[in-house]
Amino acid sequence: MTPDELKQLVRAVPDFPEPGILFRDITTLISHGEGFAHCVRHLADRAAATGAELVAGMEARGFIFGAAVAARLGLGFVPVRKPGKLPVATIGIDYALEYGRDRLEIDPGAIPHGARVVIVDDLIATGGTALATAELLRQAGAAVSHALFVIDLPDLHGADRLRGAGLTVDALMAFAGH
């Protein structure tokens, strides 16, 4: 299936999480076996082209796509977690959300110094989580130059923020609007 065909598997949910927002729901894509397999293949092909040695994905939907891409490529997967979820000493980063702040943590021992890590997530909106992830991975000694997404919402300029931080950004599909 092509990315355009995969785009047809993404459900639009109006007024979620608040009125005026058209939510792009990937549940219908990941529940479609053939579509999910093709989506992972497309992401894995793009990840392989970056020379990645590890794949990192953010909680929670980045785990779905990132782990599948890592498995397809025979690479390790680095989970980027919410605070308090890892049983070992972690490093973390606080970052701004639209309404408040959040924190991400990783196990720095999971990343060999200088390892080329590609970030994989389901969606890029404002870019705050992906940008914090890149900064955190770099603090751990990773070389991070690429971020891959299933969906880009270009009107929210997240991909532009990542490019401004030195990342190459790629998405399988884009949807106008919020």
Q: Which residues are catalytic?
A: 61, 98
Tokens of 71: 């498995």
Return the closest-CA partner of residue 65 out of 177, 175, 171.
171
Distance CA 4, CA 66 (A): 21
Q: Assess contact for 24 and 177: CB atoms under 8 A.
A: no
Return the closest-CA partner of residue 98 out of 126, 131, 124.
126
Distances (CA, A) of 169 to 12, 36, 128, 150: 23, 21, 14, 11
Distance CA 134, CA 42 (A): 22
- Helices and strands of the chain, counted as H and E runs: 6, 9
